[in-house]
Amino acid sequence: MPAAEAGAPGPEGVDESSDDLARVSAERDEYLDQLQRTRADFDNYRKRVERERPMLAEAGVRDLVGELLPVLDNLERALEALVAAGDEGAQGIVAGVDMVKQQLGALLAGRGVEEIPAHGEAFDPNVHEAVQGVPSPDHPEGTVVAVVERGYRMSDAVIRPARVVVSQGGGTR
């Protein structure tokens, strides 16, 4: 038997195996490239999640605080009503409601919640919501003359704007 027929690779066998080798190498390079891109995408995703985690936590706290603010408002209204009633027997109730209000206020302050200054301040549409304008010769135009509902912020984010009455200046004389 001649050497070419005995299974020794001839010129055609060399071409086919080098084509197979080139094809397999190209597939390998393509898979490696896909793996590297996937790894980079995952690393970017992980870094983005780590950056966003504190912002999401703060947003959750802001949402909860926003839901608690009406409770604080109602406690203040209850205190005002009890004090206005002037009943001597209600002193214990007034003290108890005041303690709950103080405790809730301290809890919110501990989370970085602060009241937005309003009364006597210049109206700022970023932190105030005007519910009424009144003529007031005693106050310059655009000054907050009364607070209808207190506003609160956490960090730089307004949780609830202060609802205010704003001076329209001069007034009728």
CATH of the domain at 165: 2.30.22.10
Residue 49 lies in a domain: no
State how many domains the chain has: 1
For residue 12, name the pLDDT band (cuts at 50, 70, 90).
Answer: low
**Alpha-carbon span 128 to 35, nearest angstrom:** 53
Please tell me the pTM assigned to this model: 0.64
Domain coverage including residue 164: 115-173
Residue 12 lies in a domain: no
Residue whose structure tokens are 């947003």? 59
Q: At what angle do helices 11-85 and 91-110 cross, to 10 degrees?
A: 160
Q: Given CA atoms 119, 125, 128, 130 in this order, what sign does their dihedral have? A: positive
More confident residue, 50 or 172: 50
Pairing between β-strand 162-167 and β-strand 128-134 as defined by DSSP bridges: parallel
Residue whose structure tokens are 């060399």? 14
pLDDT, tens digit (0-9, with 9 covering 90-100), for 145-167? 999 999 999 988 999 999 999 99
What percentage of the chain exceeds 90 in pLDDT? 50
